Amino acid sequence: MEKERRDNHNLLALNMVASAHSRLANLQRHFQTSDNVGKDGLNGGNVKISPEVAEALSRGDAVVALESTIISHGMPYPQNLETAKEVEAIVRNNGAVPATIAILDGIPCVGLTTKELERLANLGTKAQKTARRDIAYLVASRGNGATTVSATMFFASMVGIPVFVTGGIGGVHRHGEQTMDISSDLTELGKKQVSTSF
């Protein structure tokens, strides 16, 4: 009886692992590098890369990824929009192309247009604060999300942007040893080969 229970438990565990691998493989098909960027900015993997960012990456020019949570959750409109434009201008003035990253209508966008920046700024906290773990949900539900450090690094790494700038990262929250409230930013910093500047 005990052996049968263990066998059933092991079979269930194997099925769960197989199911998880299948879901991850399916999700991976939607996220590819920017090698095949079309005229619409989509790279066949349902990640929209702005023409400016795609051209800069193909030429090997400097591109700097920027998170977007600061736009939606960091300050009120219109200060958030003005700040986002100022940060992008600083990147440009230093010889690089800015690539602000967000998810709009379920489509991950690498490099926002002025209109998309304005939309995100107006959405404010109606845009979901999006960590890496939230990406699949937002894509599937066609939602709007402002990327945190972990999600921004995920997309930057995916399309080949080696540098990322942020105002700060999440960490281990007070009493984290009891609550396990630990930011996914830390995990992503340990996984991705993206230089992060604060």
Distance between CA atoms of residues 74 and 67, nearest Å: 11
Give the CA distances from residue 110 to residues 1, 102, 158, in Å, rounded to whole numbers and listed in that order.
55, 7, 10
Contact 163, 65 (CB under 8 A): yes
Cβ neighbours around 197 below 10 Å, total? 8
pLDDT at residue 22, rounded to an integer: 55
User: What is the model's pLDDT at position 141?
Assistant: 94
Nearest to 104 by CA among 89, 92, 94, 119: 119
pTM over 0.85: no
| Three-state DSSP state, 60 | coil
What confidence tens digit (pLDDT) does each residue in 65-118 have? 999 999 999 999 999 999 999 999 999 999 999 999 999 999 999 999 999 999
pLDDT at 35: 43
pLDDT of residue 19: 57
pLDDT attached to residue 23 = 55
Residue 87 has what pLDDT? 95
pLDDT < 70 stretches in the chain: 6-45, 167-198
pLDDT of residue 46: 82
Please state, as a whole number, how many other Cβ atoms lie within 10 Å of the Cβ of residue 177: 9
Query: Do 71 and 84 form a contact (C-beta atoms < 8 A)?
Result: yes
pLDDT of residue 4: 76
